[in-house]
Structure 1
């Protein structure tokens, strides 16, 4: 990389998965790529895939390296194992880029990108989405700790900015050695036009019919991977006649035997997911450990009442706890709160209005992209301000 950036800013965005693979981190990376491109940045995405290749996807160059995904299929660990082309591709595109933006320290794509950036002397910024993720396997938990104690430390100590989604993740990366002045709070962005409130009862009825949902009653939506740390099982246990549970995501097998206590609508595209939020009245995510989940942001932008776990990391968002319900992660507490909200349409309206206004003010993608571009330019020219660079 040259010392001076000539022409459009060039960014190598690195993520272990990328759409059409479904998941929160890859959705964030995909949206970042699209909005950075719209702002005039040249973006190349380095990621895994079923086969290797380079494609143009809505003006974004996507470089896929063939990967084996057996760990995800067999052990529910979303960790693609990439082939030997990875490092060579990483070096090739790090040399092209003005800055390398790595999503999470845990993955092979991240390790290769960091090595490539050091070899080509390309500055690095990082987004750390989570702390240690709870998993039922002791071996997986041990591997997580080992990775973050090695590759994680190397990444956050070398990154010129480390973006975090909440105060717990910020403390986590500081403990790994990230200088405090380089750790920056940056919420994920949301498409506030796509994820919008329902217009009226007629539109909600139409969305429910489209998704095969009951026309009557209060619907409580869960969206995400059906994993214990997401709390889908806690929500299932909190089923109650006062409301109907709706699950979007997967795998479907996790809901086997639940009978009438849950409706499964499958893994949905973004447009169908937006329709699901409009079709439902409440969003519930009793998760164990999160950054600030994209699904919570989408639900807030969609103007529905949100119930989620009272996690210490959420303090950085300054949420009105009367309007976003943060509860203890136990079945009875969750059931009682959901029954209260289901029984009070005025309260649901107030919570939804607050959530929508907060999302528009804090989660809009153009603002997110602008902050990223400022950080990229600061990484390229450390010690100078935007004004100094003209």
Structure 2
């Protein structure tokens, strides 16, 4: 086993800093390049395996799969952690990978709450595409749960990490259970691993992202005949099509699941599949806003959003929304406006998108530094200065979260105090 503080004889430029994870197959360590001062992750086989009769086969598989992953990631695949080196330290195989800076999706949900349907689908589709490439090369991840998906810092890219390398080698010393909350029951058996295993785990991950809960374990369903609770019972706002896709991925028997990632992702809802129900608690008509968004008339839609929000809050005279009016803005109306923006921008614009970005910076009422970071991220600031409303980009090519903007800016000159309170208040609402 590697030890914190250890300099590696075969790669003396690396110093081991700390153990950051371990499982039945391997142990991961954070290390640092001494000269260049950048972090890496080093993965080694679990020490318990060295006494196993199949250890030589495991090492051979470790090398082989590491080589395949290196080939897959040599062009910097955005959604798979990059392999950058392989060596043996005192007969201990060591696989060196990039250290991905960011938050894993499990912790993100615990801290910030569930994701919108469109954002959750986007994240899972990134991982599904990465796994599809791995499956074509004969690699099954076996543990693709939210804890192994890192949302790269200051981006919307999700990176899959911690492959259970050489996990197809049968061994009594290896715990093959993975994360039980996300694992299919057949993962407990020493049988051939198929893509349907990763499909189940990814479906369970998507269940978690949109409900904040994990599905009833497959083992409990298998042994005690417990029924799966559909995700829509826990979150009524998700579409029927997404509910169906998750349930199909969580079929108890592997032969009843979609057999490839492409087949499973094909069950996901697409833009235009489901019309937004134009609900309002105060009788507001949202058809004009819907028509503007459907036609891609982003500026007209932004101005209409401002008009309807002021009318709903009865703030037309004041011309802006204060914290109290956003705190008490009718839930049905807030969700309708958000869902319209999310739907017709394919998940790029909307309150829930802005909320996620604001919270990613630790958004609180203490707005100064965080509000500036938020403004930079969504494109409301350039060169350290806030934009006038006339300089806003009313185009689908604008940065994520750029629109709607009129509800927050309101005036020709930005009022930072009102705007930051508005975003902070919005970030506390359930969207």
> Normalising TM by the smaller chain, what interval?
under 0.3
Q: What TM-score do you get using the length of structure 2 for normalisation?
A: 0.25
Q: What TM-score do you get using the length of structure 1 for normalisation?
A: 0.26
The structure richer in strand per residue is 1
Q: Which has the larger radius of gyration?
A: 2
Q: Return the structure number with greater relative CO, CA threshold 8 A, min gap 6.
A: 1
